[in-house]
């Protein structure tokens, strides 16, 4: 199957699978009364309390089915990316399950979640470090230069995965916000993988081309599956992705960037996730130091809500910024060269 056709087939198959899974999962969650308990201080979202959660199962399963259909599960990079995505999804599922079971918004304790994230991160970091096609080097944006981090790659990679998964999780606060930003990010990363495999890697490196192509197909499948999920997740959401979905998406995004040796690409495709992290950090530090709040509420998307901007507009702004930044990031990849 031609590479471009494989991308398209994976995306459409994942979309179809997610569409078929959506309503059965929604019905099941309603029967199980697996509703989200909204934090008490987010008063603007009080009406959303009880909305079914754990919807991330839909696109995790759909993407995996699509990738199996096109035969990419036999390729190491794709198989590992799926495994890591599922592992983070399982961690999120445990967190969501505790919230649903005890009817409150406190799932896993912070340290438990970080330990779980770190455990998965150390495994994938060692995999990257020991893989001959990834090793310890990363590309710098807008250059053909690679920086070899040596032994420091493993702790840096671990921090990268923990940071990305937490950043995506923090951003998941409005209907359709993370889903739409993620679709944009995965499309850009799929394009980057396509460019890398077709225009950068020499013909003689067939195995490496196959691995990078599988990363692109993985991103295409994720984009297709999450696009279908938006049908139920866009405002007003019928189902939330929960930590099941947000942690899985963070893991998938981190895998794609790490496997292509472009972790700094997250500065572009994850620009709004970074905004969420920075806003929370600034809010906490300033409040502890001066007893004052910089934002009406953190993360930043809640601040915009309290400024009177409609939820749907905030989601649109975030998606557009992510898309434009992603295109800039894609342009930065055009300087790649393979040594």
Summary mean pLDDT of the chain: 92
What would the pLDDT profile of 230-243 be if each residue is shown by its tens digit? 999 998 999 999 99
Residue 169: which residues within 8 A CB-CB, separation 6 or more? 92, 243, 246, 247, 250
Supply angle C-alpha 78, 84, 86, rounded to 5.
100
Gap between the Cα atoms of 278 and 261, Å rounded: 24
3-class SS shares of the chain: helix, strand, coil, % to 5: 75, 0, 25
What would the pLDDT profile of 251-298 be if each residue is shown by its tens digit? 999 999 999 999 999 999 999 999 999 999 999 999 999 989 999 999
Gap between the Cα atoms of 274 and 268, Å rounded: 9
The predicted structure's pLDDT at residue 34: 81
Residue 318: which residues within 8 A CB-CB, separation 6 or more? 171, 177, 180, 181, 272, 301
**Residue 46 confidence (pLDDT) above 60:** no
- Report the share of the chain in percent with pLDDT over 70: 95
Helix (H, G, I), strand (E, B) or coil at 92: helix
CA proximity to 169, closest of 57, 245, 282, 236: 245
Strand partners, 139: 146
CA distances from residue 247 to 3, 40, 76, 177 in whole angstroms, order as listed: 29, 23, 22, 14
The predicted structure's pLDDT at residue 334: 83
> What pTM did the predictor assign?
0.94
**Residue 43 confidence (pLDDT) above 60:** no
What would the pLDDT profile of 98-135 be if each residue is shown by its tens digit? 988 877 777 788 889 999 999 999 999 999 999 999 99
CA proximity to 167, closest of 241, 82, 101, 266: 266
Confidence category of residue 199, pLDDT binned at 50, 70, 90: confident
The predicted structure's pLDDT at residue 202: 79
Conformation bin of residue 242: beta by default, left when phi > 0, alpha when psi is -120 to 50: left
What would the pLDDT profile of 293-318 be if each residue is shown by its tens digit? 999 999 999 999 999 999 999 999 99
Structure tokens, 212: 């990078």
CA 142 to chain centre: 23
* Domain carrying residue 22: 3-335
Q: What is the domain count for the chain? A: 1
What would the pLDDT profile of 60-84 be if each residue is shown by its tens digit? 999 999 999 998 889 999 999 999 9
CA atoms within 13 A on the CB side of 158: 14
Q: How many CB atoms lie within 10 A of CB 109?
A: 11
């Amino acid at each position: 199957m031609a590479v471009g056709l494989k991308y398209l087939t994976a995306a459409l198959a994942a979309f179809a699978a997610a569409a078929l899974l959506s309503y059965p999962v929604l019905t099941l969650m309603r029967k199980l009364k697996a509703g989200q308990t909204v934090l008490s201080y987010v008063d603007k979202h009080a009406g959303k309390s009880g909305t079914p959660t754990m919807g991330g199962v839909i696109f995790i399963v759909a993407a995996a089915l699509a990738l199996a259909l096109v035969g990419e599960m036999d390729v190491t990079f794709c198989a590992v990316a799926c495994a890591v995505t599922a592992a983070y999804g399982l961690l999120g599922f445990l967190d969501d399950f505790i919230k649903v079971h005890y009817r409150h918004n406190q799932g896993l304790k912070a340290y438990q979640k970080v330990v779980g994230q770190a455990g998965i991160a150390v495994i994938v970091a060692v995999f990257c470090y020991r893989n001959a096609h990834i090793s310890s080097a990363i590309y710098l944006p807008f250059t053909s230069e690679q920086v070899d981090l040596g032994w420091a790659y493993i702790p840096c990679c671990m921090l990268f995965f923990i940071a990305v998964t937490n950043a995506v999780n923090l951003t998941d606060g409005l209907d359709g916000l993370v889903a739409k930003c993620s679709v944009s990010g995965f499309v850009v990363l799929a394009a980057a993988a396509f460019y890398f495999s077709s225009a950068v890697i020499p013909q003689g490196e067939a195995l490496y081309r196959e691995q990078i192509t599988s990363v692109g197909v993985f991103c295409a499948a994720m984009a297709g599956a999450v696009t279908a999920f938006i049908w139920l997740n866009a405002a007003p959401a019928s189902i939330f992705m929960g930590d099941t979905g947000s942690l899985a998406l963070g893991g998938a995004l981190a895998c794609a960037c790490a496997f292509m040796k472009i972790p700094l690409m997250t500065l572009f495709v994850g620009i709004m996730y970074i905004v969420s992290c920075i806003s929370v950090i600034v809010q906490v530090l300033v409040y502890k130091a001066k007893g004052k709040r910089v934002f009406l509420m953190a993360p930043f998307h809640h601040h915009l809500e309290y400024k009177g901007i409609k939820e749907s507009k905030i989601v649109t702004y975030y998606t557009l910024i992510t898309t434009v930044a992603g295109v800039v990031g894609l342009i930065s990849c055009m300087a790649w060269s393979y040594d």
